Structure 1
């Protein structure tokens, strides 16, 4: 009798993965991005966006665009504080993408 290859229901791939790998793959991201799924971060983000709902960068040029992202001014990887209101700024998706690209270079 031929052996069946185990298929992971989430990825529909035939490769064998450990349960922890499956969880991380299904949620996406890596250990660095997992912190953004925590309740403390979600609550902090909601609080800041409630207090300042418009994109800071767009406001500098006179536009009122709803902020969807909360950006670390000094990235956490570069010693920026995670939950410091002075180190975060609300940004629209476009401005956040632009800033994230510049942070990587």
Structure 2
């Protein structure tokens, strides 16, 4: 059977190494994929299924995200349920954007 030569593209490596993700604050890079976080997130969303920012504006919006009130990089506890709040995607992006610009 004849062999076919594969084209060689200089921008594609044959065996790329996995990319390293720097840790966020003092937590591992894969923290949000770990079982303790996933269980805590599910419990928070089960107890409070609505976005807290939308509720303040008298809107009923289902929460899709669980956000840290005090960011981990600023000393917030990663697995403290009192440091978490459920948010919809829109409110989470707005809050995240404000936090990034505040420094």
Q: TM-score range by the shorter chain?
A: 0.7 to 0.9
Counterparts of 1:98 and 1:3, CA distance in 2: 47
Taking the TM superposition and a 5 Å limit, the aligned residue runs for 1:1-105 are 5=8, 14-15=12-13, 17-18=16-17, 20-21=18-19, 31-32=23-24, 33-105=29-101
Counterparts of 2:7 and 2:75, CA distance in 1: 49
Say which structure is richer in helix.
1
The CA deviation string for residues 30-51 of structure 1, in whole angstroms up to 9 with x for no partner, is 5435210111111000001000
Whose RCO is larger (CA < 8 A, sep 6+)?
A: 2
Counterparts of 1:37 and 1:92, CA distance in 2: 20
The residue aligned with 1:10 is none
Q: CA RMSD in A?
A: 2.6
- Ranges in structure 2 where 5+ consecutive residues have no aligned partner: none
- Ranges in structure 1 where 5+ consecutive residues have no aligned partner: 8-12
Counterparts of 1:36 and 1:6, CA distance in 2: 35
